[in-house]
Amino acid sequence: MNAPVPVRLSVSSLRSHKRRFAGTFLAVVLGVAFLTGTLVMGDTLRASFDTLFGNAAGGTDAVVRSADAITTPGESQGVRQPVGTELVRTLERVDGVAAVAPSIQGAGQLVGANGDPIGGQGPPTLAGNWITDPELNPYRLAEGRAPQKSGEVVVNRGTAEKGGLAIGDTTTLRTPDPVEVTVVGLATFGGEDGMAQVTFTGMTRADAEKYLTARPGEAASIQVRAGPGVGQRELVDRLTPVLPDGVEAITGQESAAENTDMISSQFLTLFTTFLLVFSGIALLVATFSIHNTFAIVVAQRTRENALLRALGAARSQVTAATLVEAAVVAVTASAAGLAGGIGIAAGLQALFPAIGFPFPEGTLVISALSLLLPLAVGVVVCLGSALLPAARAGRTAPLAALRETAVDTSGASRARAVTGTALLALALAVTLVGVLLSPSVWLAGLGAVLTLAAFVVLGPVASATAVRVLGVPLDRLRGVTGGLARRNALRSPKRTAATAGALMIGVAVVSLFTVFGASLKATMDQTVSRSFAGDVAVSAPSFGAGGSGLSPRLAGAIQELPEVDTAVGLGRGVAEVDGQGRALTVTDPAALNRTFDLGAVHGSLDDLGTDGIAITENEADERGLTTGDTTRLTFTDGHSGTFTVRAVYGQSELAGDYVITRAAWAPHRTQDSDTLVAVAFEDGVGADAGKAAVEKVADRYGNPEVQTREEYAESSAGGIDMMLTLVYALLALAVLIALLGISNTLTLAVHERTRELGLLRAVGQTRAQLRAMVRWESVLVAAFGTVGGLGLGAFLGWVLVAASDGASDSAFAFAVPPAQLAVVALVGLAAGALAGVRPARRASRLDVLRAVATE
């Protein structure tokens, strides 16, 4: 044979048996489309933010700000000290400067027309002075006018629409102290109604200094516009000599680039990585389905390949013919997936503005990487999945043409059982070492991967036993039909295992996140129950950086109630502790000890004063500190001080790692706010009466939510349900691909058993019985995959919780939610029944005489 023969054979086979590869084609299309859509959406969003910040900062040629920033662990954006507004006059006298304006910024959350706060669940809620120079102001006035007197504000149009506000409306602005304001104008940012879900309220400069800064005469930065003929870099060079120590000037382009990088690092990178993980899961599931399809096709063509070998075809030519088929399917399906992915991105481009997220109008941004990577991944996944079946096809002996069928003995393979058991033992050993003996995320991850590999190797061995056990009720419930379904599933253990393996991966990941989500909830409940000793909590949003916080005066007002024994507010500060950025809890330490369980306290929390600090045992051990030792704190205003460790406490879950008094923080504070007010009632005060009294006071301070201890624990874990909903939606694609694999496998199996099915019909089996037999076979395969996935997912969930516990100072609780996992199991079984509908219908429509006569 000459070289083109394998190609001609492959093309001829594909033309004759297009339906054989329909499921494989669709699996590749879906996986590649998801990957392409993610990459195109990421590129387009990055370009969107580049344009957004570029347009917003188009008139700003230089930004003057503090040179140093204090960054705490887990935060990419540091806190900078303010700059003095007296610099404005100095900068105005610099040659080449056309305009200068201070930019005062802080947190400010508007209350909508319905009384609910707008935003605050993640993206920041900003307030600042309205800059009168239209070129220096990143916001553009779209309707109404600029604020001219105290109490007047301009808000971005997206915020107004979301809160049902219009020009002339009066509402409350939480700064965090409530301020009554009147909307006099609506603005856009970079040509959009807002920057994603970020809200903005523009005030007069006097109001901004009064409500957003600790002291008048301070600004977050100073915006500078150059005169004609002066470039941005030249302007910065002219400004630098007149700046005091600790203050720097950067170009407007550099400022816009920093803002874009901040969005990319904090949101876009996380967002696209999150989606890419699920793309990988979908493609992994597709690998099982594709491999199974080609394995069945090769098994069905055993006699055909044997005849080719008998006629002189070399092994390499038979193998090449199978790989060419895989390559054709891979390239065409991947190309279709590229088109589908671009369509997904275009759909999201139209959908995002409806939910208040800026997505650029016009053409999508499609980079070469966004096209080449998914195409390459689709081809590699498809060819890699077909490689083993192709090699098996090449090893077909010429004498195989004389055999009627091949017997699958993988379920009784001793070598497979020993290898799989050894691999499973190794996986368990590595995992246990990684989560118990020597906590390591990498070891735990390696153990998880080895566990998955062990499940794949043991699949055929386990499938025989599992199908026998799971199929026992069928013999009683469905009689002969059920027995035949069970025997059909047992006929090819390797095929059953491979088919169920795709669903097993999907169910395992769903179970993993379900268990991890339940564990996070249990951990939060455990933390609140162990650490919070109060009766009610008044809280600000805990998800992300949104919201304006609580007024520092709220705790004092609640304390005056006769129903209240203790009310303590927890504020937040930032400082460098011996050169490392750390978050500080600003509070009344003595009252804190009465409303929170801090564990064993060494020293005294009653006399921290203005130069004392309390720290946790973990931080004390890490820094080698004990009571009486000193440490140096450097605040965002540049001032440093020596603080004495006067108390070391055991638990930090709600109180934080470092505690100082409000008096110690006052000289260095910026916009002061609390994140939580814990309230303990007097003896004999009922929960309802006490809560009602606290709510009346809280209503005067912007009406924050007042919750019991149980409600506070539940709301703190509220973001977990939202995360799980998103995870389930994304995993639906992987489960869909797994179901396509089951349906495709059964369809091919029906084709393989055409004569057998014809004989069953000939001896009296009805169409309904034949449909039921195929459907129950599908359910058995799905049951095996679902049960295996539940077990694997629960184990991996424990690994993730244990690894998180080892990597964190906080104690994680492991919880298995039986109700949710039962729902997952039922969905898996229902999905199996659904996957068997099409193959069952096709089997029942076989012509009996033609089926019996089929070779």
| Domain boundaries along the sequence of the chain | 1-104+213-406, 552-700
- pLDDT value at residue 545: 45
Q: What is the pTM of this model?
A: 0.74
Q: Is residue 300 predicted with pLDDT exceeding 70?
A: no
pLDDT at 399: 58
Residue 806 has pLDDT above 70, yes or no: no
The partner residues of 336 in beta bridges, in order of sequence, read: none
More confident residue, 327 or 183: 183
Pick from 1-10, 13-22, 281-290 the range whose average pLDDT is largest.
281-290
Contact (Cβ atoms closer than 8 angstroms) between residue 125 and residue 546: yes
pLDDT at 196 over 50: yes
Q: Which one-letter DSSP state was computed for residue 433?
A: I
Q: What is the pLDDT of residue 390?
A: 75
pLDDT, greater one: 792 or 73: 792
Q: How far is CA 255 from the centre of its chain?
A: 28
Q: What is the mean pLDDT of residues 834-853?
A: 70
Strand bridging mode 612-616 / 640-649: parallel
**Of the candidates 704, 150, 142, 789, the residue with the CA atom closest to the CA atom of residue 466:** 789
Mean pLDDT of 452-464: 78
- pLDDT over 80 (residue 87): yes
Segment 110-158, tens digit of pLDDT: 988 888 888 766 667 889 999 999 889 888 899 999 999 999 999 999 8
pLDDT for 757 equals 67
The pLDDT of 485-489, averaged and rounded, is: 75
Contact between 575 and 634 (Cβ < 8 Å): yes
pLDDT band per the 50, 70, 90 thresholds, residue 177: confident
Residue whose C-alpha is closest to residue 422's, from 462, 463, 458, 461: 458
pLDDT tops 60 at residue 382: yes
pLDDT band at 305 (very low <50, low <70, confident <90, very high): low
Kindly tell me if the per-residue pLDDT of 392 is higher than 80. Answer: no
Whether 543 shows a pLDDT value over 60: the answer reads: no
pLDDT tops 70 at residue 235: yes
Residue-wise pLDDT tens digits, 237-286: 999 999 998 899 999 888 888 877 776 666 777 778 878 888 888 888 88
Res 719 pLDDT > 80: no
Q: Provide mean pLDDT across the span 45-59.
A: 75
Percent of the chain with pLDDT over 90: 21
Q: Strand pairing partners for 567?
A: 679
pLDDT bin (cut points 50, 70, 90) of residue 1 is very low
- 183: part of which helix (H) or strand (E)? strand 178-189
Residue 52 φ then ψ, to 5°: -60, -50
> How sure is the predictor about 749, in pLDDT bands with cuts at 50, 70 and 90?
low
Mean pLDDT is lowest, of 189-203, 393-407, 566-580, 778-792, for: 393-407
Average pLDDT over the chain, rounded to an integer:
81
Cis peptide preceding 123, ω within 30 of 0 = no
Least confident of 36-40, 203-207, 377-381, 465-469: 465-469
Dihedral angle, C-alpha 487, 779, 406, 855, nearest 10 °: 100
Predicted pLDDT of residue 249: 94
CB 353 within 8 A of CB 359: yes
- What confidence score (pLDDT) does residue 361 get? 58
User: Would strands 612-616 and 658-661 be described as parallel, antiparallel, or unpaired?
Assistant: antiparallel
pLDDT at 17: 57
Q: Look at residue 470 and tell me whether its pLDDT is greater than 50.
A: yes
Residue 2 reports pLDDT greater than 60:
no
User: Which has the minimum average pLDDT: 162-171, 259-268, 314-323, 512-521?
Assistant: 259-268
Residue 360 to residues 50, 196, 363, Cα–Cα distance (Å): 11, 12, 8
User: Of the ranges 146-160, 388-402, 821-835, which one carries the lowest mean pLDDT score?
Assistant: 388-402
To 10 degrees, the CA torsion angle through 488, 493, 497, 499?
Answer: -40
Closest CA to 567 of 588, 543, 546: 588
pLDDT in tens, 671-699: 888 888 999 999 888 888 999 999 999 88
Residue 409: count of CB within 10 angstroms of its CB: 11
Pairing of strands 564-577, 674-681: antiparallel
Take residue 390 and report the two structure tokens written for it: 């192709």
How high is the pLDDT of residue 681?
92
Closest Cα to residue 60, out of 208, 222, 260?
222
- 798 CA to centre of own chain: 19
- For residue 638, pLDDT beyond 50: yes
Residue percentage of the chain with pLDDT more than 70: 85
Q: Is the pLDDT of residue 544 over 50?
A: no
Q: Which residue has better confidence, 525 or 336?
A: 336
- Average confidence (pLDDT) over 767-789: 82
